[in-house]
Amino acid sequence: MATAATQVPAVIPITTPSVATADPTAPAATPAIRSFISRLSETLRRSTSDLKPWQEMVDRSALTRPSSLSEATSRLRKNLSYFRVNYTAVVALSLALSLVTHPVSLFLLLSLLAAWSFLYLFRPADPPLSLFGRTFSDRETLGGLVLVSIIVIFMTSVGSLIISAITVGALLVCIHGALRVPEDLFLDEPDQQGGAAAGLLSFLGGAASSVASAAPVVASRV
């Protein structure tokens, strides 16, 4: 009886549930992607703040035929400076409509962008890329992506589709810029000095700088 009384009761083991931690090397958690999304959102926000009212852009009472080529050029230069974000949206819409109406080209282009993003731009430098049981260096990965890009853009309908869409959008911009009378527009002096090229490329330049800042690893890998 004494032996039974002195027996120590069995201790029930208590397990603490482990908390799952995210893999810091996962593509969605890399600082490059977060920085890219943040800068792209900021660029879009700043650019859309310069978007002019579409009613002002398509005002029929302000559309007249220019009397000379010099007048058409002057109108185009001023309108490019004033409606630069609207014109960029027109070119982007032309490109988007062309890609949507050609799903095969859209799929190829999206696949190419995904390959660049996940295999090179936003992929951690360590460990190296391994596919089909073989390890590829950064130079081999870059060379393969460049070769695939050349094949997709120049050997398929993707390249001609993009060029045609941009040409159509640019033609619409030039026609509207030559017909729209800019006398009623408030033009800032810096914008007038910037010219057509600065007007159209300012938005694209901001997006390009965001990509370059978001993925600084590209320059070190080349």
Per-residue pLDDT of the chain (222 residues; tens, 9 = 90+): 445 555 555 555 555 544 444 444 444 445 666 666 777 677 667 666 778 888 989 888 889 999 999 999 999 999 999 999 999 999 999 999 999 999 999 999 999 999 888 887 777 766 777 777 777 788 888 888 899 999 988 888 899 999 999 999 999 999 999 999 988 777 654 444 444 444 444 444 444 444 444 444 444 555
pLDDT of residue 120: 78
pLDDT of residue 99: 92
Task: Give just the sign of the alpha carbon dihedral 32, 33, 39, 43.
Answer: positive
pLDDT of residue 165: 95
* Contacts with 162 (C-beta within 8 Å, 6 or more apart), sequence order: 95, 98, 109, 153
- Extract the tokens encoding 51: 């978007």
Distance CA 139, CA 147 (A): 12
pLDDT of residue 211: 45
pLDDT of residue 194: 44
pLDDT of residue 18: 47
Long-range (24+ apart) CB contacts under 8 A made by 110-119 are 112/148, 112/149, 112/152, 115/145, 115/148, 116/145, 116/149, 117/27, 118/27, 119/145
- Extract the tokens encoding 80: 């490019």
pTM: 0.62
pLDDT of residue 203: 40
Q: Which of 103, 115, 99 is nearest to 147 (CA)?
A: 115
- Extract the tokens encoding 133: 């049981």
pLDDT of residue 87: 94
Got the DSSP string for 73-137?
HHHHHHHHHHSHHHHHHHHHHHHHHHHHT-HHHHHHHHHHHHHHIIIIISS-SSSPEEETTEEE-
DSSP code for 180: B
pLDDT of residue 88: 93
Peptide bond into 127 cis (omega under 30): yes
pLDDT of residue 121: 78
Q: Which of 182, 175, 180 is nearest to 94 (CA)?
A: 175
- Total count of residues recorded for the chain: 222
